[in-house]
Amino acid sequence: MAKAPAAPKFIGSPIKRREDPKLLRGLARYVDDIDLPGTLHMAIVRSSFGRAGIRSVDINALTDLPGVVAVYTAADLEGVGPVPVSGLVPDARVPVQPVLANKEVRFAGEPVAAVICETRYGAADAAALVDVDFEPKEAVVDLEKALAPGAPKVHEDYDDNVAFNWELVGGDVEKGLAEADVIVKQKIVNGRVVPLALETRGVLASYDPGEEKLTLWSSTQVPHKLRTHIADQIGMAENRVRVITPEVGGGFGSKLNIYREEALAAYISRDLGRPVKWIESRSENFLATIHGRGQMGEVEMGLMKDGTLIALRYTVLADCGAYYQYLTVAIFTLTGLMIPGPYKLPNVEMKVTGVFTNKIATDAYRGAGRPEATYVLERIMDIAAAEIGMDPAEIRRKNFPAKSEFPFATAAGLSYDSGDYAGALDKALENAGYADMRREQVEARKEGRYLGIGLSTYVEVCGMGPSAALGGQGWESARVRVEPGGKVTVFSGASPHGQGQKTSFAQLVADGLGVDINNIEVIHGDTDTVPFGVGTFGSRGTVVGGSAVVIACDKVKEKMARYAAMKLEADASDIEFAGGKVYVRSAPEKSADFAEIAGLAYSAMELPPGTDPGLEETHFFEPPNFTFPFGAHVVLAEVDPATGDVKILRYVAVDDVGNQINPLLVAGQIHGGIAQGAGQALEEEILYDTGGQLINGSLMHYSLPKAGLFPRFELDHTTTPTDVNPLGAKGVGEAGTIGSTPAVVNAVVDALSPFGVRHLDMPVRPERIWRAAAAKGEQG
Amino acid sequence: MIPSAFEYLRPETLEEAIRLLQENSEEAVLLAGGHSLIPILKARLAQPGILIDISRIPGLKGIGREDQALLIGGMTTHHEIESDPEVNEVCPLLAETASLIGDVQVRNRGTIGGSLSHADPAADYPATLIALDAEFVVTGPDGARSYRAENFFEGPFDTAMEENEILTSIIVPAPQGKIGGAYCKAAQQASGFAVCGVAVTVMLSDNGQIEFASIGITGVSASPYRASGVESALTGQAPTAETIEAAADRATEDIEPIEDLYGSAEFRGHLARVWTKRALEQAVKMAGS
Ligand SMILES: Cc1cc2nc3c(=O)[nH]c(=O)nc-3n(C[C@H](O)[C@H](O)[C@H](O)COP(=O)(O)OP(=O)(O)OC[C@H]3O[C@@H](n4cnc5c(N)ncnc54)[C@H](O)[C@@H]3O)c2cc1C
């Protein structure tokens, strides 16, 4: 019986997530589920002011409290290094962020002391009794006021509150604007939002004095980075620290940081010789885990009357917070890199002024800089379309590079790998029935109903990324081991925390080795067992991590083929893997079980020429470029101008993420992404008062998008593979978020166009809508 | 997010509960569904020494019928009210109101007595119970007394109840006739509480005029209130669009709307007028059908 080369059986199939049964049955183990005997509990005493001096920290009230073991303040931690930062730009001011504040606190929620107690409740009670004598000072909250002469300073050591200046210039914007027929301008605020992973942060540190080793269970996206930095902060050898990420309940970028509590728990566990656990409360999560976005700027675009874009300038204040976290500065530069979006824009310029404020740092939040770019661009595209009287779909299509123009070099200096932007837009418009939608809009208006149609066409940069472009560590690692019994274990350096790569990596290897998916085990998130890795962020898990898996798998397969060739008396190049067997392609009646060949490689009684025993291969995959997924989203929304209520009637999305390994996982990512992006558009914004107090830091006050906000998502895709990696996959973790925010806002603004509204800042909450409509009244 | 330590008591009878309250009035707080109290304790905004759980007291829970009225125990949950066949038949307005509170978990735990006693100025029931002319029965060391709904609320988180009293039941009259009701709310996006909630009942006479209209408004001012100006503008009138609109314009007469993150005073006043108009339109339509 002849066997054709196996068609992919698993890759491309909507296989259900292998992660889910345990999650759904409550059998998953998060940091807080891990109980070690003798564990101590840490509670953090935090600043209750945005900015204040610390006169003293009085712990006398704790003296006789049962269970209190120790209290640490800054003075006890002099040898502990500051919070690590990276991704800086030249000449950035880099304030030192100590693990506990010493003389001054710079944001509400900043850690001042760590209380260690036998029980978690005891720790909370004891922390409440620590008496910090604060000397409140005027806080810096508003970005413009922060830069005004004479403003109070977040850091007294600097002359002002400027954190950094950075600009990106491509082409000649001044000249472009001079040549343009029309110039449109808009001030745009992209407020702060909270990543709000469902599992808050948490860490359990356990120092073994005998082994002189520290094990850290942490809810993080970057176990190896955490290991490197914690070892450095507390002065241990890197290979004496083991970081394990058990189940991690979401991150959205917020756990791509090294936080103070991680170093505290690690240091204190070593100091006391007992395990120390800290689980973040939801209130702390609002206060002391990074926020996202935080841009306030003006965009200016020049174009010709026929819609051809000439030049774009975005000048922006970036809200850094009081200290940087891991990638605070870099996130703003990503906005610059993507500011031309999917359009041919020969002249672009982005000028960023980073501003220190008395708030928690901003950092990566789903999309991390690209949603900001897309939002600014997609808003100004609609404004431009209205200005020249062109349909929003038409002006977009007019400025896309053609499919044949890829790889496409942008004025911002990137090379877009592949694309068919018009293809995605056309499909989205067709699926939406765009022309009918526009007719429906006209009809509705006659009945006094206000429908709006919002478009966004986006491209984003992900698959982070070439190491040189990232300032190091852009690769990812994988090891594939065929076990002696024929099972396959995959060790990945990536660190999935909800994305589902235990499923998709298994699909890759099942097809690669022609075995059933149930024979494959995927292991990640343990620095003692997986190869040195980078982590999961920037939609890189599958694109970079999966590529490493595929290449490591190919290497194993190549070696295994030699064992098969020996056994089947054939040439290794003639060996085929399929259905749990190995065949000789030219003589398919000659076959052996996959497991049997695996056994041969380990028994090693006989070796093929030039071949070592064992079946285990590692690969570090370095991507030659980023990847650039793209898409088009169309939203139909109804707005009630009297109440400001918005109802999303339809959500149509066409996303192109290259080849899809698992369409079900892709759809899941798009669903969540759309919801998260729409949340910012309609409901989410975290607010500080003028004293630097967080005023809506709870889920009773800060609204997350809920299912009731949405109709059924109408998803579709086009497929434009990339040649940047062996999978042809582009990454999907952030695409939905990037596309949805502007699409939703554009729909609301479009609905309000009869009132002369051309822009509303997010979140477009009811009162904003009502005011905008009421201010102008219906105009004709 | 961890409350300070407290003692937990669970009386078996109403008398015992009242006695425990009396004995510990300085530091004891009643615990019903816990969906207002527990968040407060977790944020350490209150640190009572004793919680008296009244959830197991027989007779405090459940829905009955007495003549032309519904009798609802203070410990009855929002879910029980929203799903009870009798409430849905006799007083659909109340069932609808309950169904709009928070989310499923909140409705499964939270109680009507807890909601009314807590007197959050943005709670939903007060508007509806004012519009329905309900009575609240409270029981204390000196026995039981009752309040009309509109006289019960004295300010944000403040009621006319005395110390050591327990809200034991709610009596909701259910008059017969061409009755229509509606509850409309603009919900706070995070919690679902009312930024503005308007409850309306209207009765039409046989000739189609408005016999009476009763309007309760919550979320708009420091306490829920009866919109008397609107009511008097409607009584005896034909329910034309103009009459309704003009009446609704009086929704915030003599009222100072509050202001917070979810709406300015101006917006709340505006919402009160818009939703009063729309609720009236719905209620009149229902009464006429
Ligand atoms: C996420 C969330 C969303 C919510 N959304 C809404 C909403 O949309 N609309 C709305 O109206 N409410 C909402 N609520 C509040 C909810 O309805 C509460 O259940 C209700 O306010 C309190 O009822 P409880 O039984 O939980 O009382 P508890 O929390 O147990 O008690 C509240 C207070 O009342 C006192 N008390 C309780 N019962 C009695 C009694 N019988 N006699 C005297 N005093 C008593 C207690 O001592 C306490 O001070 C929400 C709550 C949450 C957590």
ipTM rounded to 2 decimals? 0.95
Instruction: Say yes or no: A213 and A324 in one domain.
Output: no
Give the pLDDT confidence score for residue A5 in this predicted structure. Answer: 46
What six digits make up the tokens of A744? 């939703």
Task: Evaluate whether A575 touches A564 at the Cβ level (below 8 Å).
Answer: yes
Q: How confident is the model at residue A125 (pLDDT cuts 50, 70, 90)?
A: very high
Asked if B2 lies within 8 A of A282 by C-beta distance, the reply is no
Same domain, A575 and A644: no
Residues A207, A76: one domain?
Answer: yes
Alpha helices, DSSP H only, in A152-281? 173-179, 223-234, 260-272
- Quote the pLDDT of residue A7: 66
A439 CB contacts (<8 Å, ≥6 apart)? Answer: none
Looking at the structure, tell me whether residues A476 and A606 fall in a common domain. Answer: yes
Q: Say if residue B38's pLDDT is above 80.
A: yes
Q: Which residues of B touch A767 (CB under 8 A)?
A: 262-264, 267
Residues of chain A with C-beta less than 8 angstroms from the C-beta of B195: 766
With contacts defined as CB-CB under 8 Å, which chain A residues touch B39?
A: 700
- Tell me how far apart the alpha carbons of residues B8 and B2 are, in angstroms, rounded to a whole number: 16
Residue A666 to residue A655: CA distance in whole angstroms:
10
Q: Which of B5, B264, B274 is opposite residue A767, by nearest beta carbon?
A: B264
Length of chain A in terms of residues written = 780
Report the residue of chain B nearest A709, measured CA to CA.
Answer: B189
Phi, psi of A544 (to 5 degrees): -95, -50
pLDDT tens profile A224-247: 999 999 999 999 999 999 999 999
Q: Do the Cβ atoms of A120 and B274 come within 8 Å?
A: no
Q: Count CA within 13 A, CB hemisphere, residue A272.
A: 26
pLDDT of residue A696: 97
In-domain check, residue A181: no
A536 domain residue, yes or no: yes
Question: Which residue's entry shows tokens 């404020």?
Answer: A357
Q: Coil, strand or helix: which one is B210?
A: strand
| Ligand 1 near B106 CB (within 6 A) | yes
Q: Is B190 on the interface with A (CB under 8 A)?
A: yes
- CA of B31 from ligand 1 middle (Å) equals 9
Instruction: Report yes or no: B5 at the A interface, CB cutoff 8 Å.
Output: yes
Residue A429 has pLDDT above 90, yes or no: yes
What is the gyration radius of the CA atoms in chain A, in angstroms?
28
Tokens of A416: 């877009």
**Under 8 Å between Cβ of A537 and A256:** yes
The reply to whether A14 falls in a domain is no
Neighbours of B268 (CB within 10 A): 25
| Cross-strand bridge partners of residue B9 | B52
Is the same domain home to A96 and A203?
yes
pLDDT for A3 beyond 70:
no
Cβ within 8 Å of B, A 750-779: 765-767, 770-771, 774
Handedness of CA A317, A323, A325, A326 (dihedral sign): positive
Task: Report the C-alpha gap between B64 and B70 in whole angstroms.
Answer: 6
Sign of CA dihedral B226, B227, B232, B237: negative
CATH number at residue A589: 3.30.365.10
Strand-strand pairing, A645-656 and A713-717: parallel
CB of B189 within 8 Å of any CB in chain A?
Answer: yes
- List A277's β-bridge partners, or say none: A41, A204
Q: What are phi and psi of A239, to 5 degrees?
A: -85, 5
Contact A444, A727 (CB under 8 A): no
Token pair of A144 as six digits: 């413009």
pLDDT at A779 over 70: no
Interface probe for B, chosen from A643, A685, A694 (most Cβ of B below 10 Å), is: A643
Pairs of residues, one from chain A and one from chain B, whose beta carbons lie less than 8 Å apart: 55
Topology, domain B7-53: 3.30.43
The answer to whether residue A724 is domain-embedded is: yes
Q: Distance (Å, rounded) from C-alpha A418 to C-alpha A426? A: 17
Q: Which residues of A touch B47 (CB under 8 A)?
A: none
Judged by CB atoms closer than 8 Å, whether chains meet at B186 and A766 is answered as: yes
Taking CA atoms, what residue in A is nearest to B264? A767
Q: Is residue B97 classed exposed, middle or buried when 0-12, 13-18 and 19+ CB atoms within 10 A define those classes? A: buried
Four-point Cα dihedral A659, A665, A668, A673, nearest 10: -50
Domain(s) of CATH 3.30.465.10: residues in chain B: 63-173
B64 class by beta-carbon count within 10 Å (0-12 exposed, 13-18 middle, 19+ buried): exposed
How many structural domains are present in chain A?
A: 3
CA distance A344 to A457: 13
Q: Where are the domain boundaries for CATH 3.30.43.10 in chain B?
A: 7-53
A469 and A458 share a domain? no
- Ligand 1 binding pocket includes B111 (Cβ within 6 Å): yes
User: A682 to chain B: which residues are within 8 Å by CB?
Assistant: 189
Q: Which residues contact B209 (CB under 8 A, 6 or more apart)?
A: B236, B237, B238, B239
**B4 vs A contacts (CB less than 8 Å):** 125, 128
Are B190 and A770 in contact (CB < 8 Å)? no
Q: Which of A178, A123, A141 is nearest to A310 (CA)?
A: A178
Nearest atom (ligand 1) to Cα of B38: 29
Strand order in the sheet with A131-136: A104-105, A52-58, A131-136
Please report whether residue A450 resides in a domain.
Answer: yes
**Across the strands, what pairs with A44?**
A114
Asked if the structure places residue A307 within a domain, the reply is yes
| Chain B contact present for A119, CB below 8 A | no
One domain, residues A569 and A713: no
For residues A379-384, average pLDDT:
98
Q: Looking at the complex, does the CB of residue B105 fall below 8 Å from at least one CB of chain A?
A: no
Considering the domain architecture, whether residues A209 and A222 belong to the same structural domain is answered as: yes
CB A257 within 8 A of CB A225: no
Q: Please identify, by atom number, the ligand 1 atom nearest to the C-alpha of residue B187.
A: 8
Q: Where are the alpha helices (DSSP H) in A578-662?
A: 594-603
pLDDT digits over A750-760, tens only?
Answer: 999 999 999 99
Residue B113 Cβ inside 6 Å of ligand 1? The answer reads yes
Over residues A332-347, the pLDDT tens digits come to 999 999 999 999 999 9
B49 interfaces chain A, CB cutoff of 8 Å: no
Beta carbons of B263 and A695 less than 8 Å apart = no
Share of chain A above pLDDT 70, in %: 99
Buried b (16+ CB within 10 A) or exposed e, A493-511: bbbbbbbbbbbbbbbbbbb
Model confidence pLDDT, tens digit, residues A143-162 = 999 999 999 999 999 999 99
pLDDT at A775: 87
Q: Where are the beta strands (DSSP E) in B63-114?
A: 63-66, 69-73
Distance between CA atoms of residues A166 and A316, nearest Å: 10
Shortest distance, CA B225 to any CA of chain A (angstroms): 21
Q: What is the dihedral of CA B20, B22, B26, B31, to 10 degrees?
A: 50
Give the model's pLDDT for residue A445. 97
Task: Find the length of chain B.
Answer: 289
- What is the distance between the alpha carbons of residues A537 and A544, in angstroms, rounded to a whole number? 11
Statement: residue A692 has pLDDT above 90: yes
Structure confidence at residue B212 (pLDDT): 96
DSSP A542: I
Cα separation, A310 vs A245, whole angstroms:
48
A698 contacts B43? CB cut-off 8 A: yes
Cα–Cα distances in angstroms (integers) from residue B211 to residues A258, A564, B201, in the given order:
68, 93, 11
* Chain B touched by A696 (CB under 8 Å): yes
H/E run at residue A481: strand A476-482
The 10s digit of each residue's pLDDT in A55-82 is: 999 999 999 899 999 999 999 998 999 9
Contact criterion met (CB < 8 Å) for A121 and B191: no
CA B44–ligand 1 middle distance (angstroms) = 17
Q: Is B102 close to ligand 1, i.e. is its CB under 6 Å away?
A: yes
Domain B63-173, second-level architecture = 2-Layer Sandwich (3.30)
Is the Cβ atom of B31 under 6 angstroms away from ligand 1? yes
Task: Report chain A's mean pLDDT, rounded to a whole number.
Answer: 96
The predicted pLDDT at position A780 comes to 46
The model's pLDDT over A8-63, given as tens digits with 9 standing for 90+, comes to 799 999 999 999 999 999 999 999 999 999 999 999 999 999 999 999 999 999 99
B126 lines ligand 1 (CB under 6 A): no
Q: Return the residue whose CA atom lies nearest to atom 23 of ligand 1.
A: B114
Cα–Cα dist A479/A499, whole Å: 20
Are residues A302 and A400 both part of a single domain? yes
Å from A353 to nearest chain B CA?
Answer: 29
**Closest Cα partner for A532 from A243, A205, A202?**
A243
Out of A592, A621, A650, a domain closes at: A621
- Please check whether residue A166 lies inside any domain of the structure: no
Beta strands (DSSP E) in A272-417 are 276-279, 292-303, 309-321, 347-356, 408-409, 415-416
Q: What is the pLDDT of residue A744?
A: 98
Q: Does A10 fall in a domain?
A: no
In the predicted structure, residue A6 carries a pLDDT above the cut 70:
no
Q: Structural domain of residue A323, as residue ranges?
A: 292-462+626-776
Query: What percent of chain B lies above the pLDDT cut of 90?
Result: 96
A556-561: long-range contacts, CB 8 A cutoff, minimum separation 24: A556/A480, A556/A481, A556/A482, A556/A513, A556/A615, A556/A616, A556/A617, A557/A512, A557/A513, A559/A601, A559/A611, A559/A615, A559/A617, A560/A482, A560/A513, A560/A597, A560/A598, A560/A601, A560/A615
Residue A776 has pLDDT above 90, yes or no: no
B34 Cβ inside 6 Å of ligand 1: yes
Q: Is A353 in contact with A318 (CB distance < 8 Å)?
A: yes
**Interacting residues of B187 by C-beta distance below 8 A, sequence separation 6+:** B100, B193, B194, B195
Q: Which fold has domain B179-288?
A: Enolase-like; domain 1 (3.30.390)
Pairing of strands A450-459, A476-482: unpaired
Q: Could you tell me where in chain B the CATH 3.30.390.50 domains are found? A: 179-288
Is there an atom of ligand 1 within 6 Å of B3 CB? no
Domain of A120, CATH number, reads 3.90.1170.50
B37 lines ligand 1 (CB under 6 A): yes
SS3 of residue A716 by DSSP: strand
Q: Which of A124, A682, A702 sits opposite B190 (nearest CB)?
A: A702
